[in-house]
Each structure stands twice: as C-alpha cells, then as structure tokens.
Amino acid sequence: MARADQASRLRAVEKALVESGPRGVVLKALGERHGWPLRTLYRDIKALERAGFPVAVMEPGRYRIMGRGAAWAAQGIDAEELAALILVRRLARAWRETKVGRALDRLYSKISAAPGSQQPALPLAPGIELPEGVPIDYGHRPALLMLERATRERRAVACRYLALSTGEVTQRVIEPCELYWDPRLESLYVIAHCRLRKDTRVFAVHRFESVVLTEERFVPRPGVSSKAALRAAFRVWRDNNVESVKVRFTPRRAPEIRERRWHGSQTIAHDPETKGGIIASFEVAGLAEIERWVLGFGAEAEVLAPAELVARVRDQLAAAQERYARPARRRGSGSLP
C-alpha cells in the first residue's frame, strides 16, 4: 500500500509540475494543499529526476518540468510504452557510452523533447523499481570506445591488460569480435582472439589499462563469439575442458536451486540420502566460477564431483574455518592480540 501511495503521489507531483507553466510550483504550498510533508516532496523531486524528467529549479523551493514534445503522442505511443522505454534506458545505464546505448539516448531525446510543449511528461514505470547506481561505470573509459570501434571495423588492437587471476599486466595484440554484456555480473566483456595466447579469450572491458587501434584488419576466426566461447562456461570464465559437476543441496536450499536455470546443461535429481534434498548436475568448462557459486551456499551445498572441485571447495572452507578460529580482533585496534 505504501508503494502504491508513493506512485500515486509521484504522478500527482509530476502533473502539478507539468501544468504549472513557466512560474512553476512552490513545494511548500503543494504539500500544505495535499497534506504531504515537505521533506517527502523533496525526495519525490529527486525520484522524478532519476526517472529522466527534466525538472528545473525556478528559485529555491519552486520547481517545474520543462515542456515535453508531442512527438510520441502523434506516433501513437502510449504511456505504458513510454514507461517501458524509460525502464530499458535505466537498465542500460551501465553501457550508455556504447553505440547501442547512445542510440537509445537519441531515441529517448527524440520522443521526449520539443520546446514549448505542454504535453504530459514521460511517465514513470509503475510498480517497477531499480537499484541506484551501477557496479562499474563505463562512462569515462576510452578503452570501451576503442574496443567497440575495433569490433565494428574488424581492426586489431594493441593493449595492456590486467589479468585478475595473476595480478599481472601483459602487453598483447587481440582481434576483438564482439562486445558481450553479462546481466548477472553487470559487466561488459570483449570476445577476442588473443595472439599472445593463440586462443579465444574473454576480456573484461574495465581491466584494459590501454587500448591502441591499429590499421591492421582481420577476418574473424571460427568460434570467436560469445555463443561459441561461452557455450559451456558457468558465467564468463572458461576453459577448454568440460567437467561433469554434481552438487548436493540440503532440503532448505533445494527450492531455491529448483526455481532457477543456473546453467544451460543443468539437471536436477532427487537426493536418495536426504528427504527433500536434491543433486544438481552441470557440464561446465572451467571450475573457478562454479567454485565461487558453491561456496556462496556454505554448509548447505556439498560438491560430489569432480574430485578437483571437491578438493578446492574443501580447502577454501578449511581456510575460512581457520581464519574464523583466530582470536577476535581488539575493538578498534585493527590488529590481532
């Protein structure tokens, strides 16, 4: 009910700002008229700005929404379709600097902007909210622009890249074929042939320290695409060897595992040793990411196969147990007693 009340109030505030004309609305007077706290109205103004409304401050405490064009109405675009556009644009804010992201911004501007109009502003997406901020901001990363151009023009790039697994920065030449967005990790990757490793590699865009576009053109090699390279990967870390992984989950975790598709090869079977437990099976290329995934379930997941993954998870849990068995740090001292 509280969320519905907030949405209703936001629409009322939006309407008042749009219809106020050039003088705008005094928030204090608006609040007194409807019985809304002034502090709440200031939060509503911030929410409207985050949703993409062009809120203008006429003077302290007085606001208006600048005129929006009637282009969308003339094209038969309804309010729900506009709300969908706003939501998609907000979902894409992490990769707004890409070619597709910039095209989405242009579309948004064409639909929403025309001077002097008193058409209703673009609506909020009712009942749907997104978290604030983005894990990785690509807005000020020139490497992204170079990599995107290289994928379009099929040009090799010379680069310096930080490998997360080793912490080593290497110089290499790569042939970028495709940008890949992983919504689970909220990160952009480049699928490329790496001449240093002589193989297909998946590079995180934010780990490039420098990218120089060369004049050399290349013909894409077979298998250098996200569909081929990540076919058996658990997420984006891959290996050439595909392993059969089996993980037992307790009855408490079984419903959570059943309700999602964690991997394309996933199968679920009843665990004969527990009442309500399950065994999840996967065919995975590379164990690093599924190891981290299993560890996230703590004592409620048990790796049954392969033996290498059993050992890796066991060693990690033993190291964690040893760490937590140490004496507690002194309060505020930052050092062990």
Retrieve residue 168's tokens.
């080593």
Of 20-34, 175-189, 203-217, 272-286, which range is least confident?
Answer: 20-34
Q: Are 65 and 56 in contact (CB under 8 A)?
A: yes
Strands (E), 164-207: 169-182, 187-194, 199-204
DSSP 8-state class, residue 94? G
Q: Are strands 208-217 and 278-285 parallel, antiparallel or unpaired?
A: unpaired
Tens-digit pLDDT profile for residues 248-257: 999 999 999 9
- pLDDT digits over 2-31, tens only? 555 777 888 888 888 877 777 788 999 999
Digit-coded pLDDT (tens) for 36-53: 999 899 888 888 877 667
Residues 191-205 have a mean pLDDT of 95
Strands of the sheet containing 187-194, edge to edge, are 199-204, 187-194, 169-182, 155-162, 208-217
In the numeric block, which tokens belong to residue 132? 């604030």
- Looking at residue 315, what is its pLDDT? 97
Write the DSSP string, 38-91.
HHHHHHHHHHHHHTT--EEEEETTEEEEPPB-SHHHHTT--HHHHHHHHHHHHH
Better pLDDT: 120 or 146:
146
**pLDDT at residue 89 is higher than 70:** yes
Rounded Cα–Cα distance for residues 316 and 292 (Å): 10
Split at pLDDT 50, 70, 90, the class of 337 is very low
| pLDDT at residue number 82 | 72
